[in-house]
Chains A and B, each alone.
Chain A
Amino acid sequence: MAPLNSLEKEYPLIDSNFQIFCASHAIYSVEDFLLHDIDALFTSATNCSSSQKLNQGIHQLLSIIDALHPPLLNGLQLVEDARQNKHVFSTGCQGIDALIGGGLRVGQLTELVGPSSSGKTQVCLMSASTVAKHNCSVIYLDTGNSFSPQRVAHFIGQSSDYVSGNQNVLDRIICYPVFDVYQMFDLLHQLKNNLRSKIGKSDRHVKLLIVDSISSLITPILRGSGPQGHTLMISAGFLLKQLAHEHNITVLVTNHVVGGDDGNSKPALGESWKSVPHVRLLLSRDCGGKVCNMSIIKHPAMASGRTATSVRLFV
């Protein structure tokens, strides 16, 4: 929403006369215009001289605003979109797939929460290798140097139908080391712009975006001086969900746990983050055991509290 004077170049109707008129109503930017009472503006425009030009100017602004919002969809269009675009990707582990209704759904933000060494990175690596095997691209944002290409190669090699062609599959997984929340935003914006300008190219679409872990990027800025950290966290969540929905990607993020008030552990990042992911899964590992347990905290289609019986991740 630019200040009005910057629109003058492209839209000659919004000339200085119009701007002076708006300034008399304390309107300096398009945002102020939206907040103002439009009918009152129309009536005061008719009372002024050159009212026709002012009216045209107001209509011009309204049409600019109309062009900016996303299209309105009805329920039938949403169902069609879901059928054609929003598929389900297997995570590579049957137990997890059975728990979350088939796998990771395109268009949804899935969060893995768990204490240290409970298997979050392993689930991410396994999902990445499974999606890459199905001829789709994977983008992996790694904040803790835990991306292990060795492990991914091991997962790919496990499946019997891929004897050769490991390089092709591994070439589809791209890992970005990210150590700063602003760096993550840069990357996500670049990805958004790339995807927007490449509509029509059918090969090698990005289908899985993993951020491991988003909590280590956000914890240093949360609850500092001012609400800046909180704003960044919520806008990161919105950006990820927008990427997921508009460009048909499934997004997977990992989070850690902190100690709660009553001694139980709860997911980090606080109360406001709770509503951001579509699916929240809690992982835990028995002390020194090879077996990880996964339970649903939140899911749009499954009952929460469902647990997966032993999910063996270390083969």
Chain B
Amino acid sequence: MEIGMLPISASKRGKLLAAGYTTLHSIATTSITHLATDIEVSESEALEILNFATRNSALERSSGSNTNVIQGGQTAWDMLNEERFSSSITTSCADLDNILGGGINCKEVTEIGGVPGIGKTQIGIQLAVNVQIPLDYGGLGGKAIYIDTEGSFMVERVLQIAEACIEDMSEYSHHFHKDNQAYGVKMHPNSILENIFYFRVCSYTEQIALVNYLDKFVTEHKDVKIIIIDSVTFHFRQDFEDMALRTRLLGEMSLKLMKLAKNFSLAVVMLNQVTTKHVEGSFQLTLALGDSWSHSCTNRIILYWNGDERHAYIDKSPSLKSASAPYSVTSRGIRNSTSSSKRIKMV
């Protein structure tokens, strides 16, 4: 039944069916007053239903004259060319950037998960600072949105990482533009802090409301290039009585985040916690929120301990090879691991 495909409420749908309107064509050929009296709704509501129906039948009528291509798509060739010019956000750790193909990509949703204390929030803060690196230094020159659900965002740490980043940038500019004094770095740590939009959410309804609102927010602040959610699972794990509702809400939220990433060309980074799963007689560590959530990201990186070292492993990606790389968390932020036996393992 084609009526089922209109985005209208169930009661209106029932009224349409009871009055005999079972196809879009039948609605499209009546007038507003007829429709309003037949199904006993106000004229404005009837107009809305009529608009939905005529939009669909207008597509039917105009398809004969148009080209073969349906609106909204891109050929793979165009996407390939666009990809060459798209930039990625560096993580300040060269090994990690290498396995990621340059850094965290825009237009994709990346999920980063790991045990507590492995450095997820540190990576989140580092990315929020690195996205602001100006274009001259190979960055994106954009702003960041940081959604904090656990309260683990420490402003002093952000200041520390921002100062270290500016020091690195001025060292780079001295290195490459030794003779030109005008290339001094003009950024101040305070301006880096100003460009991070911080949201604190305390319940799952707030989180969903915020994700819905982000569309409007990013339209107003067009230079936002990364959204970091730390952590996306926190409010959904404790005492959620209705599991079916949780699956639905999470599915919808992930689709909205995907849409944001694609439409505004920004990177979405979700930080996740781990839980144990009973698989074939043994307990394994997997990311929280279950199997249906594991499909809601484009790439997944798992952080783990290898002896004394922190490692990152690419668990899921449509185009990157599975590999792992070591990194370390220093007072200046995320940096390369200084262990002598470090090398990138191709799995």
For B64, list chain A residues within 8 Å (CB): 197
For B54, list chain A residues within 8 Å (CB): none
Asked if B259 lies at the interface with its beta carbon under 8 angstroms from chain A, I say: yes
Q: Which residue of A lies closest to B69 (CB)?
A: A174
Q: Which residue of B lies closest to A180 (CB)?
A: B255
Establish whether residues A2 and B20, one from each chain, have CB atoms under 8 Å apart when the complex forms: yes
Asked if B182 lies at the interface with its beta carbon under 8 angstroms from chain A, I say: no
For A132, list chain B residues within 8 Å (CB): 76
For A179, list chain B residues within 8 Å (CB): 255-256, 258-259, 262
Bound-state Cα–Cα, A287 to B262, Å: 31
- Nearest Cβ distance between residue A95 and chain B, in whole angstroms? 20
Establish whether residues A216 and B251, one from each chain, have CB atoms under 8 Å apart when the complex forms: yes
Establish whether residues B255 and A217, one from each chain, have CB atoms under 8 Å apart when the complex forms: yes
Asked if A71 lies at the interface with its beta carbon under 8 angstroms from chain B, I say: no
For B26, list chain A residues within 8 Å (CB): 1-3, 6
Bound-state Cα–Cα, A197 to B79, Å: 28
Q: Which residue of B lies closest to A137 (CB)?
A: B68
Stretch of A35-43, A86-94, A219-227 with 4 or more beta carbons under 8 angstroms from chain B: A219-227
For B10, list chain A residues within 8 Å (CB): 225-226, 228
Asked if B186 lies at the interface with its beta carbon under 8 angstroms from chain A, I say: no
For B298, list chain A residues within 8 Å (CB): 144-146
Establish whether residues B291 and A171, one from each chain, have CB atoms under 8 Å apart when the complex forms: no
Establish whether residues B77 and A115, one from each chain, have CB atoms under 8 Å apart when the complex forms: no
Establish whether residues A116 and B295, one from each chain, have CB atoms under 8 Å apart when the complex forms: yes
- Nearest Cβ distance between residue B49 and chain A, in whole angstroms? 14
Asked if B121 lies at the interface with its beta carbon under 8 angstroms from chain A, I say: no
Asked if B170 lies at the interface with its beta carbon under 8 angstroms from chain A, I say: no
Q: Which residue of A lies closest to B60 (CB)?
A: A193
Chain A 79-116 near chain B by CB (<8 Å), digits 1 or 0: 00000000000000000000000000000000000011
Chain B 201-222 near chain A by CB (<8 Å), digits 1 or 0: 0000000000000000000000
Establish whether residues A150 and B83, one from each chain, have CB atoms under 8 Å apart when the complex forms: yes
- Nearest Cβ distance between residue B276 and chain A, in whole angstroms? 13
For B249, list chain A residues within 8 Å (CB): 220
Bound-state Cα–Cα, A172 to B4, Å: 32
Establish whether residues A1 and B109, one from each chain, have CB atoms under 8 Å apart when the complex forms: no
Partner of B70, one of A116, A185, A190: A190
For B290, list chain A residues within 8 Å (CB): 258-259
Q: Which residue of A lies closest to B256 (CB)?
A: A179
For A204, list chain B residues within 8 Å (CB): 68
Asked if B173 lies at the interface with its beta carbon under 8 angstroms from chain A, I say: no
Known contacts A145-B108, A148-B318, A314-B322; A223 and B79 CB within 8 A of each other: no
Taking residues whose C-beta sits less than 8 angstroms from the other chain, chain B's interface range is 35 or more
Asked if B278 lies at the interface with its beta carbon under 8 angstroms from chain A, I say: yes
Chain B 55-92 near chain A by CB (<8 Å), digits 1 or 0: 01001100110101111111111011001000000000
Bound-state Cα–Cα, A197 to B83, Å: 35
Establish whether residues A176 and B251, one from each chain, have CB atoms under 8 Å apart when the complex forms: no
For A259, list chain B residues within 8 Å (CB): 290-291
For A263, list chain B residues within 8 Å (CB): 278
Asked if B29 lies at the interface with its beta carbon under 8 angstroms from chain A, I say: yes
Partner of A215, one of B21, B73, B256, B295: B295
Partner of B20, one of A29, A180, A224: A29
Known contacts A175-B76, A216-B251, A265-B291; A6 and B30 CB within 8 A of each other: yes
For A116, list chain B residues within 8 Å (CB): 291, 294-295, 300, 315-316
Known contacts A148-B319, A189-B59; A219 and B77 CB within 8 A of each other: no
Bound-state Cα–Cα, A124 to B314, Å: 20
Which one of A180, A189, A225, A257 has the greatest number of beta carbons of chain B within 10 Å? A189
Establish whether residues A235 and B316, one from each chain, have CB atoms under 8 Å apart when the complex forms: no
Establish whether residues B262 and A177, one from each chain, have CB atoms under 8 Å apart when the complex forms: yes
Bound-state Cα–Cα, A220 to B245, Å: 9
Establish whether residues B255 and A143, one from each chain, have CB atoms under 8 Å apart when the complex forms: yes
Asked if B15 lies at the interface with its beta carbon under 8 angstroms from chain A, I say: no
Asked if A151 lies at the interface with its beta carbon under 8 angstroms from chain B, I say: yes
Establish whether residues A144 and B68, one from each chain, have CB atoms under 8 Å apart when the complex forms: no
- Nearest Cβ distance between residue A292 and chain B, in whole angstroms? 12
Asked if A170 lies at the interface with its beta carbon under 8 angstroms from chain B, I say: yes
In A1-30, which residues have CB < 8 Å from any B CB?
A: 1-3, 6, 28-29
Partner of B291, one of A3, A167, A223, A256: A256
Bound-state Cα–Cα, A259 to B275, Å: 15
Asked if B312 lies at the interface with its beta carbon under 8 angstroms from chain A, I say: no
Establish whether residues A219 and B318, one from each chain, have CB atoms under 8 Å apart when the complex forms: no
Establish whether residues A174 and B73, one from each chain, have CB atoms under 8 Å apart when the complex forms: yes
For B252, list chain A residues within 8 Å (CB): 220
In B102-116, which residues have CB < 8 Å from any A CB?
A: 107-109
Asked if B292 lies at the interface with its beta carbon under 8 angstroms from chain A, I say: yes
Asked if B178 lies at the interface with its beta carbon under 8 angstroms from chain A, I say: no
Asked if A213 lies at the interface with its beta carbon under 8 angstroms from chain B, I say: yes
Chain A 105-147 near chain B by CB (<8 Å), digits 1 or 0: 0000000000111000110010000001000000100011111
In A255-273, which residues have CB < 8 Å from any B CB?
A: 256-259, 263, 265, 268
* 10 smallest beta-carbon distances between A and B, as pairs: A29-B20, A116-B294, A148-B319, A149-B80, A170-B77, A220-B251, A117-B316, A2-B26, A220-B252, A219-B251
Binding site for A on B (CB under 8 A): 1, 4-5, 7, 10, 19-23, 25-26, 29-30, 38, 56, 59-60, 63-64, 66, 68-77, 79-80, 83, 107-109, 244, 247-249, 251-252, 254-256, 258-259, 261-262, 278, 290-292, 294-298, 300, 315-316, 318-319, 321-322, 347
Instruction: Return 9 A-B CB contacts under 8 Å, by A number.
Output: A116-B291, A147-B76, A149-B76, A171-B75, A174-B73, A175-B74, A201-B68, A220-B248, A288-B322
Binding site for B on A (CB under 8 A): 1-3, 6, 28-29, 31-32, 115-117, 121-122, 125, 132, 139, 143-153, 166-167, 170-177, 179-180, 182, 185-187, 189-191, 193-194, 197-198, 201, 204, 213, 215-217, 219-226, 228, 231-232, 235, 256-259, 263, 265, 268, 288, 290, 314
